[in-house]
């Protein structure tokens, strides 16, 4: 594993996404195998979840598996729903998430989306959770550049640790302004859905002849090429979800070898970076 040093933390460049994990009891054994292999065999010690995922199922699943691990070796990211933030339920929701996870502290707590939440109140509430020792850092998700600027106008807004956003070879809008802005303001960027979120979106990418050919040249699989693309600059970390040990191995094949400049250029000709500001895509 390689790590991003950010505000005193060492964050693995590739962590575990958990959307839909824990939803189906019949899949629990396979999901557990994949989850443990991600940590044990690949060092994917950053785990991303949300109270939204299966309305607590993902957190409960993680809580069950994490009993076998030393808590300090893991970095747990969780998210509060905007509707709960709007009702000022920060502490209650955080405590419920902690109980489902079976841990005492969340490493990074994000507002899942929606910048129409009262941002100054969000900062105050998040800072209060830090003071109480319930979370270690806070951040946001799906915030576009104007949302980030509004957040930074709030008192203590600059304490935002991270912005988790949609970013992959097909969705590169954030490269134009948001990612440079976050880099300049010391806000970590965490890319979600790096390999396409669902079967249709993934297929569109991994079956593309250029992706297939470039993966072959770079001795990667199409999926590991997509992950390599996201972390190529080494200033973005990412999370992907799999419930399958074989998918995990396939995705991690040669993933940290940088893509050659020539192949990056060819990919960029086909999957263009934006030449003007575009709204942040979300799922
Ligand atoms: N902040 C937000 O608003 C937000 C939004 C979306 C996601 N997220 C987070 O980001 C994480 C990752 O994003 P994501 O889950 O949307 O998308 P993703 O990780 O890009 O893709 C996951 C999908 O790809 C499949 N897959 C992965 N490797 C595969 C392989 N080698 N062969 C076949 N299928 C494969 C998975 O199915 P299998 O399980 O069968 O492998 C799953 O259906 C989420 O789990 C969640 O934690 C955050």
Interval 187-210 mean pLDDT? 95
Report CA(137)–ligand 1 centroid distance (Å): 24
- Note the pLDDT tens digit of each residue in 261-280: 999 999 999 999 999 999 99
How many percent of the chain have pLDDT more than 90? 98
Looking from the CA of residue 240, the nearest atom of ligand 1 is: 19
Residue 5 has what pLDDT?
98
> Atom 4 in ligand 1: which residue has the minimum CA distance?
192
Instruction: Tell me which residues have their CB closer than 6 angstroms to ligand 1.
Output: 17-19, 48, 112-113, 141-142, 164, 192-198, 202, 223, 239-244, 247, 250-251, 283
In whole angstroms, give the CA distance from residue 279 to residue 283.
13
Tell me whether strands 236-240 and 188-192 are parallel, antiparallel or unpaired. parallel
> Atom 21 in ligand 1: which residue has the minimum CA distance?
197
Which of 16, 17, 222 maximizes ligand 1 atoms within 8 Å of its Cβ, making it the mutation to test the pocket?
17
Residue 159 has what pLDDT?
98
Residue 115 has what pLDDT?
83
Report CA(169)–ligand 1 centroid distance (Å): 14
pTM of the model: 0.98
Interval 56-83 mean pLDDT? 97
Check whether 16 has a pLDDT greater than 90: yes
Which one is the CATH code of 3-270: 3.40.50.300, 1.10.12.10, 3.20.20.100, 3.40.50.2300?
A: 3.20.20.100
Check whether 229 has a pLDDT greater than 90: yes
Average pLDDT value for the chain? 97
Report CA(120)–ligand 1 centroid distance (Å): 32
Question: Closest Cα partner for 93 from 117, 69, 64, 116?
Answer: 117
> Atom 11 in ligand 1: which residue has the minimum CA distance?
17
> Atom 20 in ligand 1: which residue has the minimum CA distance?
193
251 backbone dihedrals φ, ψ, rounded to 5°: -70, -30
Check whether 149 has a pLDDT greater than 90: yes
HSE-CB of 276 using CA atoms within 13 angstroms: 0
Residue 134 has what pLDDT?
98
Report CA(29)–ligand 1 centroid distance (Å): 18
In whole angstroms, give the CA distance from residue 151 to residue 166.
19
Check whether 197 has a pLDDT greater than 90: no
Report CA(132)–ligand 1 centroid distance (Å): 33
Report CA(239)–ligand 1 centroid distance (Å): 8
Check whether 22 has a pLDDT greater than 90: yes
Interval 71-76 mean pLDDT? 97
- Note the pLDDT tens digit of each residue in 79-116: 999 999 999 999 999 999 999 999 999 999 999 999 89
* Three-state SS sequence of the chain: CCEEEECCEEEECEEEECCCCCCCHHHHHHHHHHHHHHHHHHCCCEEECCCCHHHHHHHHHHHHHHCCCCHHHCEEEEEECHHHHHCCCHHHHHHHHHHHHCCCCEEEEEECCCCCCCHHHHHHHHHHHHHCCCEEEEEEECCCHHHHHHHHCCCCHHHCCEEEEECECCECHHHCCHHHHHHHCCCEEEEECCCCCCHHHHHHHHCCHHHHHHHHHCCCCHHHHHHHHHHCCCCEEEEECCCCHHHHHHHHCCCCCCCCHHHHHHHHHHCCCCCCCCCCCCC
């Amino acid at each position: 594993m390689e790590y991003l040093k950010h505000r005193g933390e060492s964050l693995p460049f590739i962590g575990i996404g958990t959307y839909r994990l824990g939803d189906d009891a019949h899949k629990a054994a396979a999901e557990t195998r994949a989850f443990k292999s991600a940590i044990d065999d690949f060092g994917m010690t950053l785990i991303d979840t949300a109270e939204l995922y299966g309305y607590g199922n993902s957190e409960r699943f993680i809580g069950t598996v994490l009993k076998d691990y030393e808590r300090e070796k893991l970095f747990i990211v969780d998210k509060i729903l905007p509707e709960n933030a709007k009702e000022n339920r920060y502490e209650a929701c955080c405590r419920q998430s902690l109980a489902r996870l079976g841990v005492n502290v969340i490493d990074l707590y994000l507002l899942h989306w929606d910048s129409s939440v009262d941002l100054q109140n969000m900062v105050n509430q998040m800072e209060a959770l830090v003071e109480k020792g319930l979370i270690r850092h806070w951040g946001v998700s799906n915030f576009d550049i104007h949302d980030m600027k509004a957040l930074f106008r709030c008192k203590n807004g600059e304490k935002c640790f991270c912005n988790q956003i949609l970013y992959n070879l097909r969705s590169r809008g954030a490269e134009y302004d948001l990612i440079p802005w976050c880099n300049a303001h010391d806000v970590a960027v965490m890319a979600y859905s790096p390999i396409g979120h669902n079967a249709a979106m993934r297929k569109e990418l991994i079956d593309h002849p250029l992706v297939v050919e470039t993966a072959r040249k770079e001795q990667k699989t199409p999926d590991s090429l997509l992950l390599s693309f996201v972390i190529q600059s080494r200033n973005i970390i990412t999370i992907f979800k799999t419930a399958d040990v074989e998918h995990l191995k396939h995705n991690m094949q040669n993933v940290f070898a940088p893509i050659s400049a020539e192949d990056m250029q060819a990919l960029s000709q086909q999957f263009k970076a934006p030449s003007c500001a575009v709204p942040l895509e979300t799922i």
